Structure 1
Amino acid sequence: MEMKIKFKYKSKTASDIWFESGFFPRKETLIHVDDLMKTGRVIELEIIDEMGNSWTRKEYIRLNQELEKEPENIVVFFDGGFDKETNYAGAGIVIYYDKGGESFRIRKNALLEEIENNNEAEYAALHIAIGLLEELGVKNVPCTIKGDSQVAIKQLGGEWPCYEEGLKRWLDRIEGLIQKLGLKPNLIVLNRKDNKEADKLANQALEGTKVHSNKRLE
Structure 2
Amino acid sequence: MEIRIKWGYKTPKGTETVFHSEEMPAAKALLLAEDLERTGRVKNLAFIDRYDSNWSLKELKKYLKGIETEPHNITVYFDGGFNPGTNASGLGCAIYYEQSGKSYRLRRNAAAAEHLSNNEAEYAALYLSLQELELLNVHDMPVLFVGDSKVVINQMDGDWPVIEVNLAKWADRIDGKMKKLGIQPEYELVPRKNNAEADQLATQALNGIHITGTIEMLKE
Distance 1:17 1:175, change over 3 A: same
Q: 1:35-73: per-residue Cα shift (whole Å, max 9, x none)?
A: 222222234323333344444333433332212223222
Partner of 2:69: 69
Partner of 1:180: 180
Q: 1:110-133: per-residue Cα shift (whole Å, max 9, x none)?
A: 111321222111111111112222
Please report how far the alpha carbon of residue 170 of structure 1 lies from its aligned counterpart in structure 2 after TM superposition.
0.4
- Aligned letter for 2:66? E
Deviates more, 1:99-108 or 1:81-90: 81-90
SS of 2:145's equivalent in the other structure is strand
Deviates more, 1:206-215 or 1:66-75: 66-75
Q: TM-score, normalised by structure 2?
A: 0.85
- Aligned letter for 2:213? S
Gaps of 5+ in 1: none
CA contact (8 A) 1:145 1:185 kept: yes
* 1:117 equivalent in alignment to 2:117: yes
In structure 1, how many angstroms separate the alpha carbons of the residues matched to 2:127 and 2:145? Answer: 12
* 1:6 equivalent in alignment to 2:6: yes
Distance 1:196 1:4, change over 3 A: closer
- Aligned letter for 2:105? R
Distance 1:169 1:29, change over 3 A: same
Partner of 1:38: 38
Aligned residue pairs total 218
In structure 1, how many angstroms separate the alpha carbons of the residues matched to 2:41 and 2:19? Answer: 12
SS of 2:89's equivalent in the other structure is strand
Distance 1:2 1:195, change over 3 A: closer
- Aligned letter for 1:149? S
Please report how far the alpha carbon of residue 92 of structure 1 lies from its aligned counterpart in structure 2 after TM superposition.
0.9
Cα RMSD after superposing both structures: 2.4
Deviates more, 1:105-114 or 1:7-16: 7-16
Gaps of 5+ in 2: none
SS of 1:158's equivalent in the other structure is coil
Partner of 2:211: 211
- Aligned letter for 1:114? E
* 1:57 equivalent in alignment to 2:71: no
Deviates more, 1:86-95 or 1:1-10: 1-10
Q: 1:67-109: per-residue Cα shift (whole Å, max 9, x none)?
A: 2223222221111122234332111111112222221111101
